[in-house]
Every structure is written in C-alpha cells, then in structure tokens.
C-alpha cells in the first residue's frame, strides 16, 4: 500500500474539550497539580523500596515496577496535554502520535499483567507461606517481571502498528485528549472490522484473563484468611491485600469499559474521561493507597524524610 499525505496526515488536531472551553482551565490546573504529585509519590515509593532493607521482598519489588510504570504511563501523554491546554495550538505530529501510541499502550498492557502478577505474589504469601521464599525467589521474580514487560511491549507493537496502518483518508481530527488505539480506529476510514476484532481478542488476553486470575487469587486468599484464628493475623493479611485490590478496581474498571467494547459504540466523551481516570487519577492515587494502608512503607518514608531534612 502506498503511503500518501492524504491517507496519513502530517499532524493530528486533538479536540479534547473544545466544545466545553470552560473545562480547559480547571483541567490544566488539575493536571498541573496531579502530574508532579504522581511523579513525586511514585519516586518516593521506588526510593524507600530500594533503600530500606525491610522492604527488599517480592511484594515491594513488584510495587517498584508498578511505580515506575505509573511514572512512564502518565508522562507518555500528560506533558503534551498540558502544552495543548496552555496554548491555542492543539496538535500533535504524526510521528509524535505514533510514539505516544506505543508508549501509552506498552505501559497500559504491562500494568494489566503486573497487577495480576502482584495478586499471585499475595496468593503465594498467604496461601503457601511455607513455600513463599522458595517459589518467589529473586530469580523467579525477575523472570516473571521480564515476561510481563516483554508481553506488554509485544501487545503495544502489534496493536499500535496495525492501527497506524489504517488509512485516515485525509481526516486529521481526533475527538480525544491523546492518541489512543480505539479512538484512531473509530476515526479511520475503510473497513475496520478486522482491527476491532483483533483489538477485542488481544484485550481479552490482556484485560479479561488477568482480571479472572486476580479474582481467583483473592477468592483463595479470602478462604485462607478466614481460616486464620488470630484476629491480628487476619487484619495483617487483609491489610497487605486491600491496597492492591483497590488499585485493581481503579485501573481495571475504566480500562474494561474502554477496551472491551467496539470503538464505534463509544459515547462522545467516554474515551476522554476514561483516559484521564486510568492515565492520571490512578497513577496519582497509587502511592497514597499503598502508603496510607501500609505501616512498613509509612515507616520507611518517615525515615527517608528524616534523613533528607536532618530531623531526629
């Protein structure tokens, strides 16, 4: 197929909330606050997980991966969004759109699988405590994390490449805040049924299957916890799992509503609000969720702050 400027525009216009101009200033202020907050919060989680010897365990190894993912996830599009909201020019080059597409979906697909891997870690810790150090040793953790990252990259490369091959027929207006696969499929011309079908099949593997594994893990965890006779033991087990479960609900809910339905069925503003939720809100809240509900992380953060500012 010959690539022409008519089929593939040099840049895209991101409409965002152009029909609601009163939303642009509040959204700009919210992003200006949440983006640095997300960066600082996730960097803090990474630092305390690496610097405090008490946090050198598989759970915090995976949490470090999640924090790094969240930083890259939100950075893949928020700076561009801030620039567009702060100026009258609301465009992104075709190359910039392609890069954003690959990065955004690499991080999103990897996070789906990583959350499932974290639930498996909690399952082994609570349901197989005597075998935990054997099953979740350092080499196994690194191998599992590598597989998750590699799978996320393959997902993004395959889906984004297929989407970018769809002809745009001169249309360069995206009714969205960023370049995202379902919105590009909806905007493209020609027969898109094959792309929609492939996206649905891949997202079943990336979203639905990991979510089923997470639910199965927590059903087993629930049964094991209720068998614990000590109320303190049950409280500790619930404490280590509740943070992760909250993060799963915050991330998977909007992602499923966005990716497990045909792009043609989207309402006008659904993709925009869903992208803001799982691309901005969730990465910002994750560090607070894990910190506020975890005594070890709070203690390690307190020590880190004391060292930085010289407090006793």
Domain edges within the chain: 11-309
- In eight-state DSSP terms, residue 76 is T
**In terms of DSSP H, where are the helices of the chain?**
24-51, 58-75, 78-86, 94-127, 132-135, 138-164, 181-187, 193-203, 209-226, 231-259, 270-276, 282-292, 295-309
Q: Specify the 3-state DSSP secondary structure of 256.
A: helix
pLDDT in tens, 134-192: 889 999 999 999 999 999 999 999 989 988 888 877 778 888 888 888 888 888 887 78
Provide the whole-model pTM.
0.87
Range name among 91-100, 140-149, 234-243, 301-310 with the lowest pLDDT average: 301-310
Q: Specify the 3-state DSSP secondary structure of 179.
A: coil
pLDDT value of position 188: 84
Range name among 23-27, 71-75, 148-152, 301-305 with the lowest pLDDT average: 301-305
Buried b (16+ CB within 10 A) or exposed e, 8-21: bbeebbbebbeeee
Architecture of the domain made up of 11-309 = Up-down Bundle (1.20)
């Amino acid at each position: 197929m010959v690539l022409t400027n008519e089929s593939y525009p040099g840049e895209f216009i991101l409409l965002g909330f152009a029909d609601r101009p009163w939303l642009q200033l509040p959204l700009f202020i919210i992003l200006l606050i949440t983006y640095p907050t997300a960066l600082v919060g996730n960097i803090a989680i990474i630092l305390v997980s690496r610097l405090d010897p008490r946090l050198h365990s598989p759970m915090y190894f995976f949490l470090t991966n999640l924090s790094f993912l969240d930083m890259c996830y939100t950075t893949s599009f928020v700076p561009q969004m801030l620039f567009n909201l702060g100026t009258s020019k609301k465009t992104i080059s075709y190359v910039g759109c392609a890069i954003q597409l690959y990065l955004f979906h690499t991080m999103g697909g990897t996070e789906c699988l990583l959350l499932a891997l974290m639930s498996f870690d909690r399952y082994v810790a609570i349901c197989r405590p005597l075998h935990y150090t054997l099953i979740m040793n350092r080499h196994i953790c690194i191998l599992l994390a590598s597989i998750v990252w590699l799978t996320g990259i393959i997902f993004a490369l395959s889906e984004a490449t297929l989407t970018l091959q769809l002809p745009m027929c001169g249309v360069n207006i995206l009714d969205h805040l960023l370049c995202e696969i379902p919105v590009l499929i909806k905007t493209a011309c020609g027969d898109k049924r094959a792309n929609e079908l492939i996206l649905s099949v891949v997202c079943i593997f990336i979203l639905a299957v990991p979510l089923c594994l997470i639910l199965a893990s927590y059903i087993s965890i629930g049964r094991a916890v209720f068998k614990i006779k000590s109320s303190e033991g049950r409280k500790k087990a619930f404490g280590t799992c509740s943070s992760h479960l909250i993060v799963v609900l915050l991330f998977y809910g909007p992602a499923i509503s966005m990716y497990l339905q045909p792009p043609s069925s989207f309402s006008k503003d659904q993709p925009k609000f869903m992208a803001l939720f799982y691309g901005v809100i969730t990465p910002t809240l994750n560090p607070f969720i894990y910190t506020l509900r975890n005594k070890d992380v709070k203690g390690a953060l307190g020590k880190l702050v004391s060292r930085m500012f010289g407090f006793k």
